[in-house]
Structure 1
């Protein structure tokens, strides 16, 4: 019996020596893979060198082995959490599956070799990651969720409906303005100038609709303040005047937010839309805007017509004044000379003298013929001689009348001087009459040209009563707030993390 026991103990000791040599090799390779970054060896306190090298052979102390494994896992977890930089520098990853040394027992009859399962260590999270995630969630909540919720509440429950009235019109010129020339080139030139002029007038009207002048006129006509501060308007969209800002300028800024005007340069068409909180108010405002635009175009056309006629009328006035002076000078001459028309009187007197001289010449011819066969004392000769003497006396008398024409009693001016003065006055009157006639024709031509250059407003889409509210576009505005806030948050986050990474 004792011999058998001794043989068995010697066999067990040899088997244990072989197992210890094999396990020393396995534990050395496993320790190199599972060695902590701090360089510490997982040696339990109070263990012998053999037991620390071959913990799987110590089957008689399971509680001590479990404690050592728990301490080892705790040290590895602390090392992974406190030194993430060392992991990045080449240490073993935190999520590495660490195989524990297997428990190897000598094979005995009726006994089975058991191995313990491997322990999986979860990945270690860097310090502050949870706090950064919370900050990101809070910023997204404040930047995206809160504005979207506010927009949903406002546009879904509070926003008042707004009705839109529209009008379309253009500034036009008469058809004759584009064909004032007689040939093709003049027609093309006239058309281009007319289109340029009407285009500039249309742009002026578009700018006038956005100005404070039309707001002041419409305030007097419609009371815009009461229209945009009624009870049907919500607190965001209504006009909110303040005691220190209730001015035309403040009302004009609000007017440009509820009205919209678009000018098409190619066609010259003006599109105008306005919003109000009731359909009737929107229609009234649109009609009043069209009426104010028509008044402006009429003023511009009237001013252009007056500018075109001003110079022509001034020239006509000067020509008329000159003609009056010329006529007054002739009247003064007639009053001073005592003859209505010296030239005509002199011409008639010269005609009379010429007739008398012709009769005298005939009488002398007959007298000479009778004296050739009658005596000088013959009654026929005496009668003919007396008639000739009478004609001579008459001629002298008529010539004396010609010399006295244009002279009052006591006057000494010769007839030639009077005739020269009268002719000068008559020439001045003729020139004055022709100048006045030319000036009158120029005024007529300027008036026709001004009529061709006149402008008028053509409304081809009249304002109509809206039946449905087009503003606000509730779903569209909510989605717009969501998209814009998301984009803003994303841009802010990218900027923040970029600055943080750059500073690190």
Structure 2
């Protein structure tokens, strides 16, 4: 009985054991998978290592940190927001900072830099390795894409700083590139300030000019008026004539008093009395003539004085309005100056002392790790798919 049981188990084991040909195929498949896996992982790793250690050109990087500040001298309030913004400068120059970042990232920045520093000439130098350099036949869009890869700039909202990183294949070029971009940023802020000043001062300046012309026009009319009437100042002439009339009237009153005294002494016309009467007639005629100069119809001084007073009033109004316009211009100038921005170089660009890229060991290791992960994923997917089909 025990022999029959043993024979049955042996026959069952024989039925479960895979045939020799099947085991050989499995071993062959595993060997091929191992070889293919080694090739899949080691090939890109070796290619990367050869490129990194024998061909890759050194890349130098410099960093610059700038900030846009304002000469705003408005008084600080005690609110929490004002304290935060006054201490950290979060809102000072924020719009200008974003404008700088947007400009540096634009194609226009590359158009300015290209003739200024020879951007394409440097990055297409044959001494640079074939993979990293800019093709000689690159069009503008290719140059712009290359420029974007080698110039990074962004605005840090928390600190209010603009951080610039520039890469090049020589330390001198990295420094030149960063310095040129910083100069372009300053030029942009200066242009912004000029436009801001023009916007603020254009209306005020135009108003001041108009008032100046009005004053000149009134003064010219006054000059012509004085020449026409042969008078420097009609008011002074009026005072002078009034003084003359007053003096003549006083003199006439004295003569008239003497005449009355003489008649009381003698009823006849004595030579002295006749002389006094003639003198009185002359004084009265002179008084009438002087009064005629003041109130007569033709070129009377009163009429001239009225016209002169009107011109003087216009001159006073023109001067007052000019003073108001000038004060408005000064206020606009102060407001424009208050809102002007300027560049602060927090960290000036410097020529780097050693290349930062490529990181040869790290980059090679990352390629190896990436290829290994890809191979493991492929094996898992293949194994799952095969089990599903079988």
What TM-score results when the alignment is normalised by the length of structure 2? Answer: 0.82
Give the aligned CA root-mean-square deviation in angstroms: 3.7
Aligned to 1:180: 74
Once the 2 structures are TM-superposed, how far is the Cα of residue 134 of structure 1 from its aligned partner?
5.5
Aligned to 2:131: 236
Superimposed CA distance per residue, residues 364-408 of structure 1 (whole angstroms, 9 cap, x where no aligned partner) = 34544554455453555444433332221111111122245873x
Q: Higher helix share goes to which structure?
A: 2
Aligned to 2:51: 154
Secondary structure, counterpart of 1:273 in structure 2 = strand
Aligned to 1:90: none
- Listed as ranges, the matches of 1:121-136 within 5 Å are 133=30, 136=33
Aligned to 1:282: 174
Distance 1:182 1:207, change over 3 A: closer
Aligned length: 387
Contact 1:294 1:457 in 2 (8 A): yes
Aligned to 1:171: 68
Structure 1 residue 433 and structure 2 residue 323: aligned?
no
Once the 2 structures are TM-superposed, how far is the Cα of residue 471 of structure 1 from its aligned partner?
0.9
Once the 2 structures are TM-superposed, how far is the Cα of residue 477 of structure 1 from its aligned partner?
0.7
Secondary structure, counterpart of 2:132 in structure 1 = coil
Contact 1:165 1:273 in 2 (8 A): yes
Larger Rg: 1
Rounded Cα–Cα distance in structure 1 between residues aligned with 2:266 and 2:74: 87
Q: Which of residues 253, 270, 275 is equivalent to 1:361?
A: 253
Rounded Cα–Cα distance in structure 1 between residues aligned with 2:17 and 2:298: 141
Of residues 201-210 and 216-225 in structure 1, the stretch that sits farther from structure 2 once superposed is 201-210
Contact 2:69 2:92 in 1 (8 A): no
Structure 1 residue 482 and structure 2 residue 376: aligned?
no
Structure 1 residue 251 and structure 2 residue 143: aligned?
yes
Q: Which of residues 109, 113, 116 is equivalent to 1:214?
A: 109
Q: Which of residues 174, 185, 192 is equivalent to 1:293?
A: 185
Superimposed CA distance per residue, residues 128-187 of structure 1 (whole angstroms, 9 cap, x where no aligned partner) = 75576457546634543322222222112221222223333222333xx2x2349778xx
Secondary structure, counterpart of 1:456 in structure 2 = strand
Rounded Cα–Cα distance in structure 2 between residues aligned with 1:500 and 1:351: 131
Rounded Cα–Cα distance in structure 1 between residues aligned with 2:141 and 2:23: 59
Contact 1:259 1:275 in 2 (8 A): yes
Unaligned runs of 5+ in 1: 1-24, 37-72, 83-121, 408-413
Rounded Cα–Cα distance in structure 2 between residues aligned with 1:376 and 1:182: 98
Unaligned runs of 5+ in 2: none
Distance 1:344 1:404, change over 3 A: farther
Aligned to 2:220: 328
Secondary structure, counterpart of 2:287 in structure 1 = helix
Contact 1:81 1:127 in 2 (8 A): no
